[in-house]
Amino acid sequence: MTPENYCVRGLELFSSYLFKDILELYDWNLTGPETDGDSAGCQKFHFMPRFVRFLPGGKEVLSMHQVLQYLLRSSTPLVPEEEIADMLQWEELAWQKYAEECKGMIVTNPGMKPSSVRIDQLDREQFNPEVITFPIIVHFGIRPAQLSYAGDPQYQKLWKSYVKLRHLLANSPKVKQVDKQKLTQREEALQKIRQKNTMRREVTVELSSQGFWKTGIRSDVCQHAMMLPVLTHHIRYHQCLMHLDRLIGYVFKERCLLQLAMTHPSHHLNRHEPGPRPKLAVQLRHPPAQVRGPQGINTLINIMSRLGQDDPSPSRINHNERLEFLGDAVVEFLTSVHLYYLFPSLEEGGLATYRTAIVQNQHLAMLAKKLELDRFMLYAHGPDLCRESDLRHAMANCFEALIGAVYLEGGLEEAKQLFGRLLFNGEDLREVWLNYPPHPLQVQEPTTDRQLIETSPVLQKLTDFEEAIGVLFTHVRLLARAFTLRTVGFNHLTLGHNQRMEFLGDSIMQLVATEYLFIHFPDHHEGHLTLLRSSLVNNRTQAKVAEELGMQEFAITNDKTKRPVALRTKTLADLLESFIAALYIDKDLEFVHTFMNVCFFPRLKEFILNQDWNDPKSQLQQCCLTLRTEGKEPDIPLYKTLQTVGPSHARTYTVAVYFKGTRIGCGKGPSIQQAEMGAAMDALQKYNFPQMAHQKRFICLSLSRQEPQMRDAPRERKGWRRRVTRRRTAGSDKQSAPRPHLPHPNHDL
């Protein structure tokens, strides 16, 4: 309800007095942009202080003229010059009563900069009895971090050397007494710098009360007032986002999701920080802890040891890197699907080339420019985005985050429509892109091709695989093509081999895995999610799942003997990705979600506990770096090829790894890279690295802490569960099908 008993002029006078004269927010503009050269206009925001008293019949709000009269009555000298002699003669009790009344009040001296200050203490000590001096205003404040010991270059340099030495000693097998003394000396030097008066954060300001006037305003009013710039910025920004809704052709129901997509990682570090002058008027408080990105191996181990949430969970990370991680997978999926259907005769290499041209940052920045995203992005004004190339890269990331946000709320169909509208301006080209034809095998038999099973031994064999996984394909020849290896020539049954399907299946798996990690690992940043996805979607894991499902027994080769053929890891992984593509083409994305929920995602806990996200070579290098000596170049592991045997198409390499001149491991493999991985794994198992023992203890401790929390966690995430279900099914142009029955990943087929 609109308040009464006020006029606009009274509100403007109050705002000018509080925000300009007291808080000195001169750069806060409450008027709108200039129109036709006319800068004089009404303010967009008016603020009325709401002082309420309760009456028997309801509430009464203090009228604005009463507030202004109170401010006028309160505007008196803090210590009148003509009364100072009498005030110095007051009894101690009377003076303490007056000082207590003034405590917490904002007083102002228009001739000073800053003009206003909060009184925390009022002292009347007279050090020279012959000269009458005004009482002293005492203000307790906190110096900004940049001006305290935390911002001192000498302190920062000494702190880094202290932390480095402490870390080295913690990982050293033997700690010398000299090193302990060095650590103690640096700790004492740090403490000495912290205790300097010029470096302490807590400061005491003493001012003469001469010339200061009372305002009648206390720190609680200033605290509320300092929230108003944040509020007006929020309202103005979301009014601007309404224009972005019209540009993208989609209106977000959850407005904070759109704002999150527009928030650059640099923005959250310094948002809502008032200048030094308003800080003198608000209540003393502890400075907020800055949110910093993950740094260091210990921080990485800490985050990567956290298990996923059972239910979809919102994240507390307030920038768009996670949405960019999701949007990147959505853009790659949409591009791969449309290219796959639109170019049925193009080989995998050509499809990959076209996809690279579409999803590269340079092209995505052009699409972002169409939406004018640079006008809506929230980022810190610093040196990071001053260069045009850096800004365009940030715009490309913002565009991917926007696609991820649209997918998260509106579903795959909305994301597809938005991406298609931006790719092509012409209606005819857009229609071709959005309305792609079905698969050639589906064109030949529009309804089903299962009637061909009776006459085809190959298809008859595949029915055993269908029965094992609990899914009956409408077009079983799609499954046959997924199992057809590259060595098989063209035939009329499958119309080609599975390499094109492998191209599509890779993008599908990336999207499904990305979505799962995004919603079940809310505390992980983009880099951590990428590490988890790499451990989940790789040749080794895919080949293992393919073997457990027995796919190698159904592979279609050109071997006429029909003997079982031992397939390489890469070939098995390609079989699985091709099967994923066939499952998507014949059914829909929901079947792929179910398949990966059964066969892939349960392995994540094992990957986290065993640190499979961290390859052996990286682990070995991290362990070796922790054993470095201060002041010397760190020793890193060196790999040497000892032996190469076998023909050129089937060679076996033997590689040894050395640390500080000593061989610590040896490995063999079909490639130098795999042999180096084996050597690193051998070294980690044989060599007693303190860092490895520390990581294992930390992971066990972290797991013991997480299990009770996950067991007692509330299950009140219905909104997120509804959103996940809606996004998978919204806009799907395929018929809905019952959820497939799939075996457990450890089930013996």
**Which whole-number Å values give the CA distances from 145 to 148, 154, 239, 268, 466, in the listed order?**
5, 14, 34, 17, 65
Higher pLDDT, 327 or 689: 327
d(CA 248, CA 421): 9
For the chain, the maximum distance between any two Cα atoms, rounded to a whole number of angstroms, is 120
Q: What is the mean pLDDT of residues 537-560?
A: 89
Higher pLDDT, 41 or 722: 41
Q: Is 359 helix (H, G, I), strand (E, B) or coil?
A: helix
Q: 83 and 132 in contact (C-beta within 8 Å)?
A: no
Give the pLDDT band (50/70/90) at residue 212: very high
Higher pLDDT, 567 or 25: 25
Give the pLDDT band (50/70/90) at residue 292: very low
Q: What is the mean pLDDT of residues 518-543?
A: 92
The pLDDT value given to residue 719: 47
Tell which phi-psi region holds residue 60, choosing left (phi > 0), alpha (psi between -120 and 50) or beta.
beta
**Which whole-number Å values give the CA distances from 162 to 146, 167, 188, 634, in the listed order?**
20, 9, 10, 17
The pLDDT value given to residue 291: 41
Candidate ranges 128-132, 301-305, 540-544, 614-618; pick with highest mean pLDDT = 540-544
Q: What is the mean pLDDT of residues 523-548?
A: 92
The pLDDT value given to residue 34: 65
Higher pLDDT, 368 or 83: 368
Positive or negative torsion for Cα 293, 297, 299, 305? positive
d(CA 740, CA 572): 23
Q: Is 77 helix (H, G, I), strand (E, B) or coil?
A: strand
Higher pLDDT, 724 or 672: 672
- Strand 116-118 and strand 121-123: pairing? unpaired
- For residue 29, pLDDT over 50 is answered with yes
The pLDDT value given to residue 411: 93
- For residue 361, pLDDT over 90 is answered with yes
* pLDDT, averaged across the chain: 84
The pLDDT value given to residue 72: 94
- For residue 724, pLDDT over 60 is answered with no
Q: What is the mean pLDDT of residues 201-216?
A: 89
**Percent of the chain scored above 70 by pLDDT?**
85
Higher pLDDT, 691 or 137: 137
- For residue 545, pLDDT over 60 is answered with yes
> Would you give the end-to-end CA distance of the chain in angstroms?
69
The pLDDT value given to residue 696: 73
Q: What is the mean pLDDT of residues 243-250?
A: 94
The pair of three-digit structure tokens given for residue 162, joined into one six-digit string = 């202290």
Q: 22 and 281 in contact (C-beta within 8 Å)?
A: yes
- For residue 729, pLDDT over 60 is answered with no
**Percent of the chain scored above 90 by pLDDT?**
48
Positive or negative torsion for Cα 20, 26, 27, 29? positive
- For residue 399, pLDDT over 80 is answered with yes
d(CA 235, CA 229): 10
Number of other CB atoms surrounding residue 18 within 10 Å: 21
Nearest to 440 by CA among 575, 555, 346, 330: 346
Q: What is the mean pLDDT of residues 721-737?
A: 47
Candidate ranges 38-47, 309-318, 540-549, 729-738; pick with highest mean pLDDT = 540-549
- For residue 232, pLDDT over 50 is answered with yes
- For residue 551, pLDDT over 70 is answered with yes
d(CA 19, CA 40): 19
d(CA 545, CA 374): 44
The pLDDT value given to residue 157: 87
Residue type at 50 in one-letter notation: R
The pLDDT value given to residue 366: 96
**Residue 645's beta-bridge partner residues?**
652
- For residue 75, pLDDT over 50 is answered with yes
Tens digit of each residue's pLDDT (9 = 90 or more) over 159-200: 888 888 887 777 666 778 888 888 888 888 888 887 777 777
Q: 589 and 728 in contact (C-beta within 8 Å)?
A: yes
- For residue 71, pLDDT over 90 is answered with yes
- For residue 745, pLDDT over 70 is answered with no
Tens digit of each residue's pLDDT (9 = 90 or more) over 108-122: 999 888 899 999 999
The pair of three-digit structure tokens given for residue 541, joined into one six-digit string = 């894991």
The pLDDT value given to residue 279: 54
